[in-house]
Amino acid sequence: MRIGQTFTFIKSAPNYGEFKDIPMSHLVFAGRSNVGKSSLINKLCGRKQLAKVSGTPGKTRLLNLFNVDDDFLLVDLPGYGYAKVSKQMKNDWHKMIDRYLMEASTRILLIFLVDSRHEPQKKDLELFDYIQKLNLQFLVASTKIDKLSKNQLAKNLSILKNTYTASDHNRFFPVSSRTGDGVDPLVTRILSELKSIQGVQK
């Protein structure tokens, strides 16, 4: 399964003001640098190079926008955390992301990516608190589940699930972009959640 059939790049925008007049809901991807965001986007879209995959953290530096089937926008946010960029640029990224999430909150379904190999990280917890503060609709994608033994994976997923979806475990999706495990259930839920957002907007 995939989230759409046609994917058209619109632009890389420095702020929400450049695309706020587009009357669509937003499927937004956010996560730390190197969490596997680009790989998951490509897997969900059934494309190899829709989002750029790089070994260099911080490759995405603007809000990258794609039109999906003339139905919704896919918004790829800059990664946060380990990017080898200046402190000022990191601060600018955070301001850009915070303002966008706040101003577009009623249009957004946010896919919050966390690495299944690690326990909750400070930067992840900060973003999660912000997601809750804005009352955003969100799903958690725990990536790279193919990298761990079954026992270690079960332990880590339990911790991550309880941390990020304590009140609704159905919002937690373990996935592997390499093997495709967990992708279909995530696609199904994404499309369902987007319909509910579109219904509210109409």
pLDDT digits (tens, 9 = 90+) for 56-88: 444 457 899 999 999 999 999 988 765 555 677
* pLDDT band, residue 200 (cuts 50/70/90): low
Residues 142-158 have a mean pLDDT of 97
pLDDT at residue 134, as a whole number: 94
Does 187 have pLDDT greater than 90? yes
* Nearest-10 Cα torsion for 153, 43, 110, 64: 130
For the chain, the 3-state helix, strand and coil shares in percent, each to the nearest 5, are: 40, 20, 35
Quick one: fold of 7-201? Rossmann fold (3.40.50)
The three-point CA angle 127-36-45 to 5° equals 105
At 94-134, the pLDDT tens digits run 788 889 999 999 999 999 999 999 999 998 999 999 999 99
Q: Please answer whether residues 175 and 182 qualify as being in contact, where contact means their C-beta atoms are separated by less than 8 angstroms.
A: yes
pTM equals 0.92
For the chain, the average pLDDT equals 90
> Higher-confidence residue: 90 or 38?
38
- The domain locations on the chain are 7-201
